[in-house]
Amino acid sequence: MRIAMISEHASPLGAGGQHAHVAELSDALAELDHDVRVYTRRTDSETAEVAMTPSGVRVVHVAAGPAQPLSEDLLLPHMGEFARLLGEQWSGDWSPDVVHAHFWTSGLAAVTAARQIGVPVVQSFHELAGLDDRPKDARGPSRSGYERALGRAVDRVVAQSQDEVRGLVRIGVPRERLSIVPAGVNSDRFTPDGPAMQRNPERPRILSVGKLVERKGFGDVLEAMRYVPGAEVVVVGGPPPEQLKSDPGAKVLRALAEQFKVADRFRLVGSVAHRDMPEWYRSADLLVAAPWQDQDALDQSALEAMACGVPIIGTAVGALNDTVVDGLTGDLVPARDPRALGGAVRRLINDKVRRFTYATAALDRARQAYSWRRVASQVGSVYSSLRRTPASTEEAVA
């Protein structure tokens, strides 16, 4: 099957998050003998138009808009041009049998381009906007409005968790157009065996990973450390290390660490190359994932940590409810409750036997349920189930 992946802002050649998801899924599909091409927006004038991954996936850099990274609101005006250029790409000797868009802006371009050649579109949102995300003085549809329209216009929406399904239904996406396929983890790269980042063996290490934004709950993690004496917390994520000093999110976390009197046990690392993340997971006694909004379809760090044999303490939010089996691979606590979070961390840190039991179960679950080959096979089944006729053109994305 010829598959076009549209990921306008997250190139599979990039690191972490959606970049890694698109890269791993595309490679796994290619290994199942599909012909996969990924279309992403060119963000550097020096970037070659076409690159190849080791698995034979062609990555096409589309020259839509200025050759520089753009924020979400600045990307939107260029999606029409992106769609036009996709149409030109597909008018030659290669056209897809199915188009799979990643993120809502990619979906806008994918629907427009796919209609020109009459092929079905699959949409993965990766995260959803809040229901009231438009500034009061803004004109035109809000992001959630676009997401609602896309959910009705595409042939299938692939959600990654039950919580995402509930969110999509809540904004008006027809349930019959929804399929659940979780994200995967590369169990060849993320494994308990291998080098680990240096640490003080006398001090338990708690790891937390993600963007330095409020909804990720790092502030709650820092407050929870008040109830875990003697342990250190390491946060990986945010801008490159050299930019941490001036980063607003980093400044907030440093101030909170001082406020909660845990600054001497807090380390902020900054962004880390995805290939180096296994060493950070292996250095940790446990991973804490404490988001308090369910916008993100999946906290990939939880899956990666589990594949490295690291137990999870998480909030009962979003896909963590699916990924973490409470009381088996980790413990789930209510969101926005630092005392409960700290208590769960302290109990697990102090119980070596339970930590080992959780780690063993987490590793087994990651390998059995979340291999990329398994995920690619499930996604391929979604593609195969679609008729060649795309969703009704009457359901336009306004």
pLDDT band at 13 (very low <50, low <70, confident <90, very high): confident
- Mean pLDDT within 17-43: 95
Distance of CA 358 to the CA centre of its chain: 24
Query: Residue 38's closest CA among 48, 47, 53?
Result: 53
Is 49 a residue whose pLDDT tops 70?
yes
352 and 381 housed in the same domain: no
317 and 363 housed in the same domain: yes
Is 394 a residue whose pLDDT tops 60?
no
Q: In what side-by-side order are the strands of the sheet with 98-102?
A: 50-52, 58-62, 35-41, 2-6, 98-102, 121-124, 156-159, 178-180
211 and 321 housed in the same domain: yes
Q: Model-level pTM?
A: 0.88
In a domain, 398, yes or no: no
Coil/strand/helix, residue 378: helix
At residue 371's C-alpha, the angle toward residues 330 and 333, to 5°, is 20
Largest CA distance in the chain: 64
Query: Residue 128's closest CA among 321, 398, 396, 318?
Result: 318
366 and 378 housed in the same domain: no
In a domain, 226, yes or no: yes
- Mean pLDDT within 130-136: 48
258 and 158 housed in the same domain: no
- Domain count within the chain: 2
Mean pLDDT of the chain: 93
In a domain, 357, yes or no: yes
In a domain, 193, yes or no: no
357 and 378 housed in the same domain: no
218 and 345 housed in the same domain: yes
311 and 273 housed in the same domain: yes
In a domain, 199, yes or no: no
98 and 177 housed in the same domain: yes
Is 135 a residue whose pLDDT tops 90?
no
- Mean pLDDT within 89-98: 96
Is 390 a residue whose pLDDT tops 60?
no
CATH number for position 25: 3.40.50.2000
pLDDT at 389: 47
- Mean pLDDT within 209-225: 96
In a domain, 391, yes or no: no
Is 162 a residue whose pLDDT tops 50?
yes
pLDDT at 130: 64
Q: Are strands 35-41 and 2-6 parallel, antiparallel or unpaired?
A: parallel
In a domain, 77, yes or no: yes
234 and 145 housed in the same domain: no
Handedness of CA 271, 275, 276, 282 (dihedral sign): positive
216 and 345 housed in the same domain: yes
In a domain, 359, yes or no: yes
Is 131 a residue whose pLDDT tops 50?
no
179 and 306 housed in the same domain: no
Domain range spanning residue 169?
Answer: 2-184+373-385
pLDDT at 136: 44
